[in-house]
């Protein structure tokens, strides 16, 4: 059962639907960042970035904390757990073994390549 304070899957997926917000999450994987540092690589206003950060915070994907005069953003490491559990329920999202896939392609394409020559 989902806790009463936990964001809904709809809220999480809506937050993830935007490429700017996904980029912000990827940036926060590295370390906590000040809002101004988050905004730097984007060609949009600080107010627009703040709105994106608000959506991510409302979805529970990040937390924001004021340290002195600076507002910091931090990725919540457990934030995607609910969405991940939901997707795994479909059984279609098993991890892909890329080494095995590469070996398969080499076998298949290698055999075709030999036949062509």
pLDDT of residue 58: 94
Whether 3 maps to a domain, the answer reads no
Beta-carbon contacts of 27 under 8 Å, excluding residues fewer than 6 positions away, are: 33, 38, 41
Which CATH number fits the domain that encloses residue 32? Answer: 1.10.10.10
Give the dihedral sign, CA 57/58/60/66: positive
Structural domain count of the chain: 1
Residue 1 placed within a domain: no
Q: Residue 27: how many CA atoms within 13 Å on its side-chain side?
A: 21
For every one of its 117 residues, what pLDDT tens digit does the chain have, with 9 covering 90 and above? 444 456 788 999 999 999 999 999 999 999 999 999 999 999 999 999 999 999 999 999 999 999 999 999 999 978 888 888 887 777 665 566 777 777 877 887 775 545 444
Given a contact cutoff of 8 angstroms between Cβ atoms, the answer to whether 39 and 46 are in contact is: yes
Q: Which residues is 72 bridged to in the sheet? A: 34, 65
Residues 6+ positions from 38 with CB-CB distance below 8 Å = 24, 27, 28, 49, 53, 73
- Per-residue pLDDT at 117: 42
- Looking at residue 95, what is its pLDDT? 63
The pTM of this model reads: 0.70
**pLDDT at site 1:** 43
Expressed as residue numbers, the domain containing 24 is 9-116
39, part of any domain: yes
Residue 104 lies in a domain: yes
Q: Quick check: is 2 in a domain?
A: no
Helix, strand, or coil (residue 6): coil
DSSP label at 65? Answer: E
């Amino acid at each position: 059962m989902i806790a009463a304070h936990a964001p809904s899957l709809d809220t999480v997926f809506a937050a993830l639907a935007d490429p700017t917000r996904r980029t912000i999450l990827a940036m926060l994987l590295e370390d906590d960042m000040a809002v101004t540092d988050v905004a730097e690589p984007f060609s949009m206003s600080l107010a627009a970035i703040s709105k994106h950060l608000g959506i991510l915070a409302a979805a529970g994907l990040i937390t924001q904390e004021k340290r002195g005069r600076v507002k910091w953003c931090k990725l919540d490491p457990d934030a995607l757990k609910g969405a991940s559990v939901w997707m795994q329920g479909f059984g279609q999202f098993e991890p892909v073994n890329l080494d095995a896939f590469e070996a398969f392609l080499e076998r298949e394409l290698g055999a075709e390549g030999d036949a062509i020559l």
